[in-house]
Amino acid sequence: MKEYDHKKIEKKWQILWEKKGIYHAQNKSKKKKYYSLIEFPYPSGDGMHVGHIRSNTAMDIISRKRRMEGFNVLYPIGWDAFGLPTENYAIKTGKQPAVITKKNTDTFRRQLQSIGFSFDWSREINTTDPKYYKWTQWIFLQFLKKGLAYKAKMTINWCPKDKIGLANEEVINGCCERCGTTVEQREKEQWMLAITKYADRLYEDLDDVDYLPQIKLGQRNWIGKSEGAEIEFKISSPIPGMGEKVKVFTTRPDTIFGATYLVLAPEHQLVQKLKSQIPNWKEVEKYIEETKSKTEIDRKIEDKIKTGVELKGIKAINPATKEEISVWIADYVLSTYGTGAIMAVPAHDERDFAFAKKYNLEIKNVIEPIFVNNPKEDLHFVEREAIHAIVKHWTEEKYLALKWKKVDWLTFVTGGVESGENTKDAAIREIQEETGYQNIKLIKELPRSHSKFYHEPKKENRFAHFSNFYFQLINDEQKELSQEEKEIHELRWMTIEDLEKEMTIGGALRDLENLQGKEKFYLGNGIVTNSGRFDGQDSEKAKKEIVKFVGGKIKTTFKLRDWIFSRQRYWGEPIPVIHCEDCGMVPVPEKDLPVELPKVKNYQPTDSGESPLANIAKWVNVKCPKCKGKANRETDTMPNWAGSSWYYLRYTDPKNKKEFANKKNLKYWTPVDWYNGGNEHTTLHLLYSRFWHKFLYDLKLVPTNEPYMKRTSHGMILGGGGVKMSKSLGNVINPDDIVKTYGADTLRLYEMFMGPFNQSVAWSEEAIIGPRRFLERVWKIGKQVAEPDTFTQSLGPSLRSATPSQKHTGSAMSVSKLLNKTIKKVTEDIEEMRFNTAVSTMMILVNEMDKNEVSIKDFKKFLQILAPFAPHITEELWGVLGEKKTIHLSEWPKWDKNFIQDEEIKIAVQINGKVKAEIMILLDEDEESIKKKVFANETVLKQIAGKEIKKVFYVKNRLLNIVL
RNA sequence: GCCCGAGUGGCGGAACCGGUAUACGCGCACGACUUAAAAUCGUGUCUCGCAAGGGAUGUGGGUUCGAUUCCCACCUCGGGCACCA
């Protein structure tokens, strides 16, 4: 076997590895543990998608590297097999879901094994296995015990086609996520999980984990935490003592003096209570009816047009101003959020503003914007230059602001000078010089915690005194405003953010016309006005006191709702509950778990909205565990999110019959160190499993507060032309074909090489040949290195001609150097998931090795860094080179620092920023001697002839720029 | 509408704490080997220009000695959220 034949070596090694169990994780080990996780696949009938391979390969590379770094690695695999696709297929074909699942998982297993992933197959799990879902049901019972699982009458989203209740998150634009049918509203008893009880922890604990920023943001947005206040408004009544009260929730209590009317959600119960006092009740009732019949789609079409009806005869008292204000109902106020009622402040809220405009309600301004610098990290608030930079960037605008607004002081935030300097004096002097204002007073130094924000951690030690200050500039040169300035004055309604965007230096006046067209409401913070004794205060700081003043309560509200946990379908975990005529709802005793799914003939859901399980009398009719009387089983099943909410825990002890996992194993393996998965699961699945984990943590059943230490996500693989792969388009790539023609190693390498891991990339049938050629070259060099003498003769005629007649000799050193650089780059790139550049770096090395003499030692090191990417070919060549033990448990190579930097390097010579020449210099050569070289260069001399050199910039070991 | 992310050769993409734009791969062209083809190897491949020199990182501005990278506005594409007070 001389030529690279992937078919022979790949199968061989896959069998051998499994036989020796080299990828099996040990529950006890002297080594440090590492738990790497991928989302377990849903085994669909279509077989594996090339997208699965991308994610799996990435974590496989990381897992393999960790093993070589001496870790005891757990990289498990299983099947998330409950759910609709299988059930729908069962309905269509009449086959049993369990049978279909078995067939599909067999296919997936075979496919995954053919690609050489280093999964620990001994820990394979399946959510539809009664031995597994016994514990899903068990955990549910714990929720029930703690009162976190409950039944409630809910208007649910009902898909008339799938005949299934949908969670809010499964409704996309008012349509069913799966089939696209318009969703209806139905009232139904549903099982709920009280995830809202954990909302705050789910939000706050994100600080402690290493998720990609956008993932954290997604989680936070979904939870939707807002801190605000609940404030009571009295409803005035002609009959003394009959007055009602209404609570509103607001995040802006500081604007309460500007609350000029009150709006209730049409469903608000107070509306019905007040019925007798409302003279225009007919009109009101009509509006309520209209709202009820409105579907999500209708609301969408209406878009942002606000509608509402005034409750005539009803007035509320603004607790701040004590003035009477009108009361309205409008469907822009949601009954399900906050208290279902709001105080409307049209001057400082976009929706209230629109509503007030439409119905001609009073708009009362109570916040004046101020121009407070909102310094951003990127402005480099360090070093002396920082002050220059800030002042330079902001003074002009500040100065204008002073004139426009006729204010006599402004805040300035600045700070940060080198150690040993007096920061305050330096800052004040800078501002005096730059602004011309002499009358500057320091008002306030920000607390230490605040200044942390501006710190650059790497440079920390350089700045002993780092502070931020508010300065007061006294405007001692009040001028009359010119016409132009008066116009600018009108801008005060703009948000600070807008102003910051619009007013670049020198551009402030130019873009004026654009700005003046905008609507006049102001959302930002500022100075409180028109608010009695609070006038002049900073709005943010005034909040607390105003809440106190009106007798309100500080409150935090979340967008997150409780989780609708039941499905009226067959293919899910039965909810382990029995309904008894006498005892009511009785949990199935733990000893009777699992409640197994019965085999049925018909999986068609009932139109009544009940699960198909309801039709199986034999299964439904049971004795009550408590009184032994007549009772019925709960026929709802759990959603697919259930089994996947805790599967990573089961991997630590997959066969345990006594508990969901042994405590020792959990203690050793959790938390998951690195979890990679799709973007589509970064909100819900992650949130749900974090919730379950925290719940189990509270029961002291798991040792950590969070399940996953690190979470990353991969981009999708698209079909040619950048469209999604789908059966209907016929652009689905079958990995089996690729493995057959090119081999698993090539497929793995190609998927890593095709583009940045976190972005979606289009599959290219043509480009895959590149990685294949690369591996052929690796093979050829490997053979040459192994048998340098006999190699050329023993080759077939086709390969012999391919071998360069002469190898460059004496350049083993340069290959070694490049190898060391490559080891460094690959080592670092893998950690950052920059697999594409890791591969390209290895390609460069191989091209070089092909041209030059390579030592066995060097080649082996190269094989080791390639091994996680292409496990089969490297293992084979490793053996060919005389190694007896597997390459995959060998020690990850280190790079030699001394080898990495060249002694002689090429730098660019620029003239006015354009590259004109290149010269060779010694590493770290001193500037003077480089200049000598440069000014001896012909091209340079020609360019600078007769011109005056203004300045010369030298960037160490990089370039030299001559400014003329 | 709002919030993220991205726009670089024929194509996938590299470079981004501001410092030689187009690494690596695909494709294409020419050459070597071959009776021939495939495979392989070699050379070339942003663009205008004979050259000297220009011009190009979605568009237009700004900061800078120097910008694909930072700032502002706009355009296009992808993803998420959509009246959450």
ipTM of the complex: 0.94
A943 — pLDDT class (breaks 50, 70, 90) = confident
Q: What does the pLDDT average to over A516-530? A: 64
> pLDDT at position A750, please?
95
Q: What does the pLDDT average to over A931-940? A: 83
A287/B16 CA-to-C1' distance in Å: 56
- Say yes or no to pLDDT of A486 above 50: no
Which contacts of A408-412 are long-range, i.e. CB under 8 A and separated by 24 or more positions? A408/A474, A408/A475, A408/A478, A409/A472, A409/A473, A409/A474, A409/A475, A410/A370, A410/A371, A410/A472, A410/A473, A411/A370, A411/A372, A411/A373, A411/A443, A411/A470, A411/A471, A411/A472, A412/A373, A412/A469, A412/A470, A412/A471, A412/A473
* Rounded Cα distance, A431 and A352, in Å: 41
Distance (Å) of CA A582 to CA A153, A619, A621: 21, 20, 15
Residue A401 tokens, joined: 């602001």
> pLDDT at position A2, please?
59
Q: Which residue has the higher pLDDT, A814 or A203?
A: A203
* Rounded Cα distance, A52 and A839, in Å: 20
What's the 3-state SS for A683-732? Answer: CHHHHHHHHHHHHHHHCCCCCCCCCECEEEEECCEECHHHCCCCCCCCCC
- Say yes or no to pLDDT of A349 above 90: no
* Rounded Cα distance, A37 and A710, in Å: 10
Q: What does the pLDDT average to over A197-203? A: 93
> pLDDT at position A262, please?
95
Query: Which range (A124-133, A428-437, A642-651, A742-751) has the least confidence?
Result: A428-437
- Say yes or no to pLDDT of A365 above 90: no
| Contact between A620 and A613 (Cβ < 8 Å) | yes
Size of chain A, expressed as the number of residues it contains: 964
A424/B69 CA-to-C1' distance in Å: 34
> pLDDT at position A835, please?
95
- Say yes or no to pLDDT of A794 above 60: no
Chain A 535-564 residues in 7 Å CB range of strand B: 557, 559
> pLDDT at position A599, please?
85
Query: Which range (A119-123, A585-589, A949-953) has the least confidence?
Result: A949-953
A461 — pLDDT class (breaks 50, 70, 90) = very low
- Say yes or no to pLDDT of A863 above 70: yes
A843/B51 CA-to-C1' distance in Å: 37
| Contact between A590 and A138 (Cβ < 8 Å) | yes
Chain A 363-382 residues in 7 Å CB range of strand B: 378
* Rounded Cα distance, A910 and A960, in Å: 6
Q: How crowded is residue A237: how many other Cβ atoms within 10 Å of its Cβ?
A: 15
What's the 3-state SS for A864-882? Answer: HHHCCCCHHHHHHHHHHCC
- Interacting residues of A830 by C-beta distance below 8 A, sequence separation 6+: A61, A62, A65, A838, A868
- Say yes or no to pLDDT of A473 above 50: no
A705/B80 CA-to-C1' distance in Å: 27
* Protein CB footprint (7 Å) on chain B nucleotides: 3-6, 11-15, 19-21, 23-27, 33, 38-42, 53-55, 61-63, 65-67, 70-73, 78-85
A914/B63 CA-to-C1' distance in Å: 19
> Which residue's CA shows the smallest distance to C1' of B40?
A802
A493 — pLDDT class (breaks 50, 70, 90) = very low
Q: Reduced to 3 states, what is the DSSP secondary structure of residue A799?
A: helix
> pLDDT at position A173, please?
59
- Say yes or no to pLDDT of A398 above 80: no
Q: Which residue has the higher pLDDT, A4 or A868?
A: A868
Chain A 279-308 residues in 7 Å CB range of strand B: 299-300, 302, 304, 306
CB of A663 nearer than 7 A to strand B: no
CB of A317 nearer than 7 A to strand B: no
- Interacting residues of A129 by C-beta distance below 8 A, sequence separation 6+: none
CB of A915 nearer than 7 A to strand B: yes
> Which residue's CA shows the smallest distance to C1' of B73?
A502
Q: Which residue has the higher pLDDT, A543 or A383?
A: A543
A958/B44 CA-to-C1' distance in Å: 29
pLDDT digits (tens, 9 = 90+) for A891-929: 999 998 877 777 788 888 888 888 888 888 888 888 888
> pLDDT at position A397, please?
39
Q: Compute the mean pLDDT over every residue in chain A, rounded to the nearest whole number.
A: 79
Q: Reduced to 3 states, what is the DSSP secondary structure of residue A925?
A: coil
CB of A524 nearer than 7 A to strand B: no
Q: Which residue has the higher pLDDT, A956 or A559?
A: A559
- Element holding A78 (H helix, E strand): strand A78-79
For the ranges A144-148, A218-222, A560-564, the maximum mean pLDDT occurs at A144-148
Q: How crowded is residue A890: how many other Cβ atoms within 10 Å of its Cβ?
A: 16
A679/B79 CA-to-C1' distance in Å: 9
- Say yes or no to pLDDT of A807 above 60: no
> pLDDT at position A508, please?
29
A319 — pLDDT class (breaks 50, 70, 90) = very high
A487/B51 CA-to-C1' distance in Å: 58
A910/B20 CA-to-C1' distance in Å: 9
Chain A 202-221 residues in 7 Å CB range of strand B: 214, 217-218, 221
A844/B14 CA-to-C1' distance in Å: 13
| Contact between A132 and A630 (Cβ < 8 Å) | no
Q: How crowded is residue A805: how many other Cβ atoms within 10 Å of its Cβ?
A: 6
For the ranges A334-343, A494-503, A943-952, the maximum mean pLDDT occurs at A334-343
A427 — pLDDT class (breaks 50, 70, 90) = low
> pLDDT at position A171, please?
66
Longest dimension (CA), chain A: 111
CB of A843 nearer than 7 A to strand B: yes
> pLDDT at position A447, please?
27
pLDDT digits (tens, 9 = 90+) for A660-675: 999 999 999 999 999 9
- Element holding A189 (H helix, E strand): strand A184-193
* Rounded Cα distance, A191 and A786, in Å: 66
Chain A 480-519 residues in 7 Å CB range of strand B: 500-502, 504-507, 511
Cα A198 to its chain centre, rounded Å, is 19
Q: Which residue has the higher pLDDT, A442 or A385?
A: A442
A837/B53 CA-to-C1' distance in Å: 35
Which residue, A489, A253, A362, is CA-closest to A353? Answer: A362
A769 closest-nt by C1' vs CA: B26
- Bridge partners of A577, per DSSP, are A587
> Which residue's CA shows the smallest distance to C1' of B53?
A916
Burial class (CB in 10 A: 0-12, 13-18, 19+), A956: exposed
A270/B42 CA-to-C1' distance in Å: 86
pTM: 0.83
- Say yes or no to pLDDT of A637 above 90: yes
Distance (Å) of CA A358 to CA A272, A304, A307, A351, A377: 25, 12, 9, 11, 42
A796/B38 CA-to-C1' distance in Å: 15
Task: Quote the percentage of chain A above a pLDDT of 70.
Answer: 77
CB of A913 nearer than 7 A to strand B: yes
A503 closest-nt by C1' vs CA: B72
Q: What does the pLDDT average to over A35-56? A: 92
> Which residue's CA shows the smallest distance to C1' of B42?
A804
Chain A 730-789 residues in 7 Å CB range of strand B: 753-756, 759-762, 764, 766-767, 769-771, 773-774, 776-777
* Rounded Cα distance, A46 and A731, in Å: 13
A850 closest-nt by C1' vs CA: B41
- Say yes or no to pLDDT of A112 above 90: yes
> pLDDT at position A139, please?
98
CB of A338 nearer than 7 A to strand B: yes
A1 — pLDDT class (breaks 50, 70, 90) = very low
pLDDT digits (tens, 9 = 90+) for A443-458: 433 322 222 222 222 2
> pLDDT at position A369, please?
58
Chain A 143-162 residues in 7 Å CB range of strand B: none
CB of A433 nearer than 7 A to strand B: no
* Rounded Cα distance, A603 and A99, in Å: 14
A145 — pLDDT class (breaks 50, 70, 90) = very high
A419 — pLDDT class (breaks 50, 70, 90) = very low
> pLDDT at position A446, please?
33
- Say yes or no to pLDDT of A315 above 50: yes
A326 — pLDDT class (breaks 50, 70, 90) = very high
DSSP structure string for A1-62: --S--HHHHHHHHHHHHHHHTTTPPPSS-SSPEEEEEEPPP---TT---HHHHHHHHHHHHH
A958 closest-nt by C1' vs CA: B19
What crossing angle do the helices spanning A835-851 and A744-753 adopt, rounded to 10°? Answer: 120
| Contact between A162 and A176 (Cβ < 8 Å) | yes
> pLDDT at position A429, please?
59
CB of A729 nearer than 7 A to strand B: no
Q: What does the pLDDT average to over A574-592? A: 94
**What does the DSSP 8-state code read for residue A501?**
H
Distance (Å) of CA A591 to CA A134, A624, A659, A758: 10, 14, 12, 46
Q: How crowded is residue A947: how many other Cβ atoms within 10 Å of its Cβ?
A: 10
Q: Which residue has the higher pLDDT, A97 or A484?
A: A97
A645 — pLDDT class (breaks 50, 70, 90) = very high
Q: What does the pLDDT average to over A856-880? A: 96
A27 — pLDDT class (breaks 50, 70, 90) = very high
> pLDDT at position A169, please?
59
> pLDDT at position A322, please?
94
- Bridge partners of A157, per DSSP, are A166, A185
pLDDT digits (tens, 9 = 90+) for A76-89: 999 999 988 898 88
Q: Computed from CA positions of residues A449, A453, A457, A461, in that sequence, does the dihedral angle turn out positive or negative?
A: negative
A348 — pLDDT class (breaks 50, 70, 90) = confident
* Rounded Cα distance, A615 and A606, in Å: 9
Q: Reduced to 3 states, what is the DSSP secondary structure of residue A563?
A: strand
> pLDDT at position A460, please?
25
